[in-house]
C-alpha cells in the first residue's frame, strides 16, 4: 500500500522525490545452520524448513524484515536452488507473508536468484591438500554443495530480468594486476597450478548488476558477497581474493578505461552503464578492523561515484562493544562492519539509515540475543530519496 500511494503521488506530480528503503541482510540460512556442528549436510536442510513455515529461527529472520520493511532487500547466505518455489518463494509465502509475533506481514512480488560458484567443482586442488575433492576448498567458491551461501534479491518493484548482468564465470586471471599471481606457497612457488589459474573464477559467489524499475526510473543493485579473508594460511589466498572481489566494483564503476577488461556471463564487455545504483552485500572487509586488505574497501567508500561517507549506526552495536568507539557502526555480532548499503553519489539523497540491533532493554532484543535467535549479522538499511 505504501508503494502504491508513493507511485500515485509521483504520477500526478505532487511529490518532488520518491523515497525507498534499501537493505542488506546476511541471514546465515545455509544448510549447516540447521544441523549440529560437524554433521554431514545434503544441502536440502533449509528448503525443508522453508516448506513448513514453522522454524523459529527463520521466523525471527522474517520478523526482523517485517519490522524494518525494506522495499529492496539483498539476502546473503540464502542457499540457491534453481526451483524458486522451493527456495525464495517459499520463504516469502510461508514466512514473510505470515505475521510473525505481532509484526505485519510483508510481500515481495519480485525476486532475483541465480547460480553461484560455491560448491561448484573446479576440477583442481585449490586448497593445497593434494586432493581435488570437488567441494569445500576445491570448489570455485568454498561450499560443501552447489548453492551454499547463495544470494537472493527481493523487491516490491519490478526487476528488469532481461537486463541483469551477472559475472559468476568471470575469470580471476582476466583482471589486470590481479593478486592471484602473488599467491605463493612456503617455497615461493605459485599456490595455484597453471591449469587451475586458467579456470579459477574471481567471484566466490557471484557479482550481480540487477536493474529495478522504481517509479519509471532504473535503480541498479550491485550485489556480491566476497570470500572471508581468513580460513587459509600464510599464502593468504582468501585475503587476496577478497581484495580483488571488492576491487571489481571499484573498476566496474570507474569512468575511465579501467572497466574495459570486464565481461559478463553473456559476453558483454565493459563497466557500469546506468545512472543510479546501490551497492549491497556482506563484503567481509572494513577500512579499520578485521583481516582484510584495507585499500579496496577504502577505494570503494571513497570512489567518486559512491556515497560512502554516511555510516549506518545502532545503539545496540555500541552497547555490544562498549570499549570500542566503532561499536555503533558494527553490523555483525563478531564486532566489525562487513555489511554495506552504498548508494551512488548522483540520483539520491540519503534521508536516514541504521542497523537493526535492539538493545537488551528492548522487547525485540529476543530477535538477535544470540546466534541461534537469527543470524550473526544485522540487517542494514538506508532510506533514499530520488533526486533528479
Instruction: Let me know: does 227 contact 238? Beta carbons within 8 Å.
Output: yes
- CA angle, 188 then 194 then 198, to 5°: 135
- The Cα 329–Cα 327 span in angstroms is 5
Q: Return the half-sphere exposure (C-beta side, CA atoms, 13 A cut-off) of residue 213.
A: 9
Per-residue confidence (pLDDT) for residue 171, from 0 to 100: 98
What's the pTM? 0.95
Give strand ranges (E) for 56-181. 72-78, 110-112, 151-155, 165-166
DSSP assigned state of 96:
I
Per-residue confidence (pLDDT) for residue 5, from 0 to 100: 47
- CA angle, 42 then 48 then 54, to 5°: 140
Calculate helix-pair angle for 237-252, 294-301, nearest 10 degrees.
20
User: Tens digit of pLDDT for each residue in 142-201?
Assistant: 999 999 999 999 999 999 999 999 999 999 999 999 999 999 999 999 999 999 999 999
- 135 burial level (CB within 10 Å; 0-12, 13-18, 19+): middle
- The Cα 74–Cα 18 span in angstroms is 20
- 332 grid coordinates: 555483525
Q: Provide DSSP, 302-336.
A: T-TTB--------HHHHHHSTT-TTGGG--BTTTB
Which residues of the chain, if any, have pLDDT below 50? 5-15
> Which of 345, 375, 354 shows the shortest CA–CA distance to 279?
345
Q: What ranges in the chain are assigned the alpha helix state H? A: 2-12, 45-52, 56-68, 88-91, 194-197, 237-252, 294-301, 315-320
Per-residue confidence (pLDDT) for residue 8, from 0 to 100: 46
Per-residue confidence (pLDDT) for residue 149, from 0 to 100: 98
- The Cα 113–Cα 156 span in angstroms is 15
Residues forming a β-bridge with 165: 209
Q: Return the half-sphere exposure (C-beta side, CA atoms, 13 A cut-off) of residue 31.
A: 22
Instruction: Let me know: does 183 contact 235? Beta carbons within 8 Å.
Output: yes
Instruction: Let me know: does 251 contact 299? Beta carbons within 8 Å.
Output: no
Per-residue confidence (pLDDT) for residue 16, from 0 to 100: 56
Instruction: Let me know: does 224 contact 208? Beta carbons within 8 Å.
Output: yes
DSSP assigned state of 105:
P
Residues whose CB is less than 8 angstroms from the CB of residue 6 and which lie 6 or more positions away in sequence, other chains included: 15, 18, 19, 215
Per-residue confidence (pLDDT) for residue 255, from 0 to 100: 84
Residues forming a β-bridge with 155: 72, 110
Amino acid at each position: 500500500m505504501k508503494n502504491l500511494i508513493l507511485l500515485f503521488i509521483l504520477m500526478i506530480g505532487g511529490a518532488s522525490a520518491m523515497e525507498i528503503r534499501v537493505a542488506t541482510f546476511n541471514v546465515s540460512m545455509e544448510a549447516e545452520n540447521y544441523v549440529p556442528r560437524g554433521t554431514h549436510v545434503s544441502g536440502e536442510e533449509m528448503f525443508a524448513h522453508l516448506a513448513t513455515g514453522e522454524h523459529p529461527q527463520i521466523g525471527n529472520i522474517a520478523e526482523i524484515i517485517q519490522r524494518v520493511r525494506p522495499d529492496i532487500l539483498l539476502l546473503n547466505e540464502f542457499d540457491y536452488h534453481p526451483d524458486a518455489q522451493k527456495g525464495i518463494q517459499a520463504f516469502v509465502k510461508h514466512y514473510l507473508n505470515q505475521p510473525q509475533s505481532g509484526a505485519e506481514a510483508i510481500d515481495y512480488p519480485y525476486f532475483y536468484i541465480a547460480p553461484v560458484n560455491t560448491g561448484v567443482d573446479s576440477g583442481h586442488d585449490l586448497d593445497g591438500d593434494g586432493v581435488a575433492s570437488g567441494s569445500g576448498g576445491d570448489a570455485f567458491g568454498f561450499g560443501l554443495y552447489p548453492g551454499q551461501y547463495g544470494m537472493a534479491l527481493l523487491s516490491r518493484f519490478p526487476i528488469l530480468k532481461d537486463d541483469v548482468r551477472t559475472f559468476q564465470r568471470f575469470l580471476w586471471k582476466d583482471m589486470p594486476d590481479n593478486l592471484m599471481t602473488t599467491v605463493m606457497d612456503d617455497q615461493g612457488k605459485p599456490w595455484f597450478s597453471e591449469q587451475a589459474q586458467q579456470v579459477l573464477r574471481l567471484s566466490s559467489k557471484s557479482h550481480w548488476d540487477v536493474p529495478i524499475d522504481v517509479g519509471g526510473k532504473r535503480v541498479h543493485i550491485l550485489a556480491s558477497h566476497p570470500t572471508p579473508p581468513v580460513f587459509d594460511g600464510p599464502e593468504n589466498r582468501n585475503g587476496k581474493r577478497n581484495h580483488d572481489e571488492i576491487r571489481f566494483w571499484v573498476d566496474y564503476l570507474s569512468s575511465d578505461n579501467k572497466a574495459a577488461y570486464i565481461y559478463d556471463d553473456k559476453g558483454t564487455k565493459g563497466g557500469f552503464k546506468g545512472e543510479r545504483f546501490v551497492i549491497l552485500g556482506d563484503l567481509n572487509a572494513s577500512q579499520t578492523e578485521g583481516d582484510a586488505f584495507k585499500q579496496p574497501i577504502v577505494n570503494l567508500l571513497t570512489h567518486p561515484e559512491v556515497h560512502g561517507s554516511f555510516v549506518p549506526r545502532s545503539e545496540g552495536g555500541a552497547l555490544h562493544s562498549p570499549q570500542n568507539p566503532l561499536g555503533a557502526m558494527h553490523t555483525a555480532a563478531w564486532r566489525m562492519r562487513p555489511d554495506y548499503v552504498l548508494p551512488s553519489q548522483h540520483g539520491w539523497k540519503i534521508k536516514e539509515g541504521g542497523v537493526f540491533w535492539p538493545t537488551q532493554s528492548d522487547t525485540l532484543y529476543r530477535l538477535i540475543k544470540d546466534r541461534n535467535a537469527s543470524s550473526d549479522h544485522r540487517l542494514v538499511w538506508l532510506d533514499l530519496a530520488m533526486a533528479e
